[in-house]
Amino acid sequence: MTITPIAHFHSPFASKFGVPKQSGLAPDLRGTIVFEPEWRNADALRGIEEFDYLWLIWAFSANRHQAVSPVVRPPVLGGNVRMGVFATRSPFRPNPLGLSSVKLDHVEWATSKGPVIHVMGADLMDGTPIFDIKPYVAYADCHEGVRSGFVDSHPMQRLTVVVPPEMEAALGADATAVLRQVLALDPRPHYQNDANKTYGMPFEGRDVRFTVQGNVLTVVEIV
């Protein structure tokens, strides 16, 4: 089977650094889905606005190396424990396919590029190819009271984010709110924990530079 992209995703992230590790963790993070010319047909989206959430099937297009190992080291376990690749959501997979549940905000029907879907909470970098879109159906897709493996014993820890007032004013209230959600997830690689290091993350066409001491992340510069 050969699959080709039907669309590409557009988000504030020019690289995979800083992209939330799962969908829904930064719920106010906005993105758009722009279809390839052959799929810029409103009929293909007929009825889609009656759903609140969508499934996106996409490619880990920024991966430079093909996965060859049956085990990976999940960041949630500190990067020191090996788990089976099919027991994780690692991007390093035999077939580099991602699956994300995103909130449908609205469809912009009349644009120069055909209908454009606006979504929230996605974990895709800018330019990610999308292979398929399916509606999220609650009675089939929602399972309450289920186990989540090693994730259950390693609850997510969010950082406290400090953004100086002058930087927040320059960035704007809405963009700052999204940036706080993203930075609270700690975008650093799991093996880096240097309090003296300044990290940089592309966001909204800017370079956001920050330091982390303990559980506090401080934005030191936005250029």
Residue-wise pLDDT tens digits, 39-68: 999 999 999 999 999 999 999 988 877 778
Question: Which comes out higher in pLDDT, residue 2 or 130?
Answer: 130
210 vs 221: CA distance, rounded Å: 7
pLDDT at 182: 96
Q: Both tokens of residue 68?
A: 């060859």
DSSP annotation string for 25-83: SSTT-EEEEEE-GGG--GGGGTTGGG-SEEEEEEE-TT--S----SEE--GGGTT-S-E
- 16: which 2 tokens? 């995979």
- Between CA 175 and CA 65 the distance in angstroms is 33
Residues 174 and 208 in one domain: yes
Residue 140 parent element (H or E): helix 138-141
Tell me if 42 is assigned to some domain: yes
21 and 103 together in one domain:
yes
Residue 1 has pLDDT above 90, yes or no: no
Tally of domains within the chain: 2
The arithmetic mean of pLDDT across residues 161-183, rounded, is 95
Query: Based on the domain organization, do 213 and 183 belong to the same domain?
Result: yes
Together in a domain, 103 and 206 = no
pLDDT value of residue 157:
86
From 76, 109, 141, give the residue that closes a domain: 141
pLDDT of residue 78: 78
In this prediction the pTM is 0.91
Does 30 reside within a domain?
Answer: yes
Counting every residue written for the chain, the total comes to 223
- Residues 114 and 188 grouped into a single domain: no
Same domain, 211 and 118: no
pLDDT tens for each residue of 135-167: 999 999 999 999 999 999 888 889 999 999 999
76 belongs to a structural domain = no
What confidence score (pLDDT) does residue 215 get?
Answer: 94
Give domain status of residue 207, yes or no.
Answer: yes
197, 100: one domain: no
Tell me: do 104 and 36 sit in the same domain: yes
At 16, which CATH number?
2.40.30.70
- Domain hosting 130: range is 7-61+96-141
Q: Do 131 and 177 sit in the same domain of this protein?
A: no
Same domain, 123 and 48: yes
Q: Among the three residues 141, 174, 199, which one is the final residue of a domain in this structure?
A: 141
- Is the pLDDT assigned to residue 84 strictly greater than 80? yes
The answer to whether residue 205 scores a pLDDT higher than 80 is yes
Q: Say whether both 133 and 166 belong to one domain.
A: no
Is the domain of 14 the same as that of 51? yes
Contact in structure between 187 and 17 (CB atoms under 8 Å): yes
| 84 belongs to a structural domain | no
Is residue 148 situated within a structural domain?
no
